[in-house]
Amino acid sequence: MRKQLIYIILFLLTGAMSAQLSAQTPEKKPVRILFVVDASRSMLQHWDRNSKLFAAKAVVNGIVDSIEHIADVQVAMRIYGHQSAQPLNDCYDSKLEIPFAPYNAAAIRKKLDEIRPQGVTPIAYSMEQAIGDFGNDYKSYRNILVLVSDGFESCGLNPCEVILRMRNMGIITKSYVIGIGIDATEYSEFSCMGETMNIQDEESVQPVIDEAIARIFNSVFTRVNLLDVNKDPTETDVLMTFYDHTTGKEAFNYYHTINPRGLPDTLTLDPNLQYDMQVHTVPEVWKKDIHLDEGKLNIISEPAAQGFLRITVRGETFKGMINCIVLHNKEIVATPISNNAQKLLVGDYDIEILTLPVIRISGIKVEQNKTTTVEVSAPGYVSFNKNEPLTGAIYEYKNNQLVEIFELNDSNLKETLAIQPGKYKVIYRYNGHRDMDETHEVDFEVVTGVSQSIRL
């Protein structure tokens, strides 16, 4: 995780208030989230394209994946209905499978893969047991309880009373219910247990994950879509910088990634600020004055389709940097370029390769996910040996005119230059000679890979 992102998340997690209360100093506490997961027999029911259990696993894993690298957030998981078969009507079938610990996301994912639903739905008993799960030091934490279930209590007790008692005792700060395809009647019954969200089908799993994190962390959950030429959010692995729009100050940096579910990763932002976003593509992309809406997933979309430009030296195994200038709309956007290729936004570019003489190429097209290669000839090498200091330069013919490409040093008696293949002329006059008739000319030709000496 990026340090700046972690800082903002931790600030929000450890007691940041709503916009109306933001002037108050929050009490900073580590956060603990206890998942209470329904593994009763009904979770095996076919639902949409899979089962209800599939959706429950997806939502728990999705939340855990998003927070697993944050040091001051711990998670735990209690499961009910997975140890005894339904005919036994075991209303004590509930177990803390994963206690609170840092960085235990892998253990939670593994346990979810192992469970086999078979029992009843002792929600109230599980809530009672959850009191002990938070431990005697519960006052040292901001404790969150998240119930994931497809149905209400089946053992005749009232889980709402238990939740109310836990709140009054100060054990939990907030509680949430994530329903798996629950109907309108059950939805109203769950409302007394906390803020309720309902997964209606597999397409709504990810939005519920995002909404849950936004609610739990009292923040705005935001996804940045970097769009390719087809307007799909496939571009990634690029640094983004967010600035406070009002002050212009840097807020944090974040490397864009695609999460394991194939979606652009998400980040948590302070809803009290407006942002400017700088995407460090080449050339860079800006999106100004970003407004965030609370209570929903905010999606920031920006075109950022990219391809590659490579410059190679013909006939040589070259693995360094090519000195060049890359221009887009007559603005310099890159210099130099690695032989391994420079990533650029799709579009048309002009380049100036700083060989001797300079090679200028216009209208180079960079296309999405393709590499455009520009090949230059390997140089030849020319040594100029001088009898005494002189004034002179090297010229090439362009459109039947002489164009200077290099001015000789007036004091060095020997200069060796790498020059592109072609025909050239060196024109000079010794410094001690003041007569124009003392101007001298030498024509020479440069061949790739060939070294030669010219005495002046």
Going along 266-346, which residue ranges are E strands?
266-269, 275-279, 285-290, 298-303, 306-314, 321-322, 324-328, 331-334, 337-338, 342-345
pLDDT of 260: 74
pLDDT of 102: 86
Closest CA to 37 of 176, 213, 195: 176
The model's pLDDT over 146-188, given as tens digits with 9 standing for 90+, comes to 999 988 889 989 999 999 999 889 899 889 999 998 877 777 7
Residue type, 238: V
Q: Does the pLDDT at position 192 exceed 90?
A: no
Can you read off the two tokens belonging to residue 56? 């429950």
Beta carbons within 8 Å of 263's beta carbon, 6+ residues apart? 206, 223, 233
Query: What integer best gives the mean pLDDT of the chain?
Result: 86
The model's pLDDT over 130-154, given as tens digits with 9 standing for 90+, comes to 999 999 998 899 899 999 998 888 9
Q: Phi first, then psi: what are they for 238, rounded to 5°?
A: -135, 145
pLDDT of 405: 94
CA distance from start to end of the chain: 63
Q: Does the pLDDT at position 239 exceed 70?
A: yes
Q: Does the pLDDT at position 319 exceed 80?
A: no
Long-range contacts of 396-402 (CB under 8 A, 24+ apart): 396/357, 396/422, 396/423, 396/424, 396/425, 397/423, 397/425
The model's pLDDT over 333-368, given as tens digits with 9 standing for 90+, comes to 987 776 678 999 999 999 999 899 999 999 999 999
Q: Is 314 exposed, middle or buried (0-12, 13-18, 19+ CB in 10 A)?
A: exposed
User: Residue 5 in contact with residue 254, Cβ under 8 Å?
Assistant: yes
Query: For the CA atoms of 142, 165, 126, 218, what is the dihedral angle to 10 degrees?
Result: -30
Alpha-carbon gap, residue 357 to 290, rounded angstroms: 47
Closest CA to 147 of 87, 118, 189, 85: 189
The model's pLDDT over 85-118, given as tens digits with 9 standing for 90+, comes to 999 999 999 999 999 998 899 999 999 999 999 9
User: Residue 82 in contact with residue 39, Cβ under 8 Å?
Assistant: yes
pLDDT of 244: 86
Alpha-carbon gap, residue 80 to 122, rounded angstroms: 7
DSSP secondary structure, 137-154, as one string: TGGGSEEEEEEEESS---
**Helix ranges restricted to H, 70-157:** 105-114, 123-133
pLDDT of 279: 97
pLDDT band at 1; cut points 50, 70, 90: very low
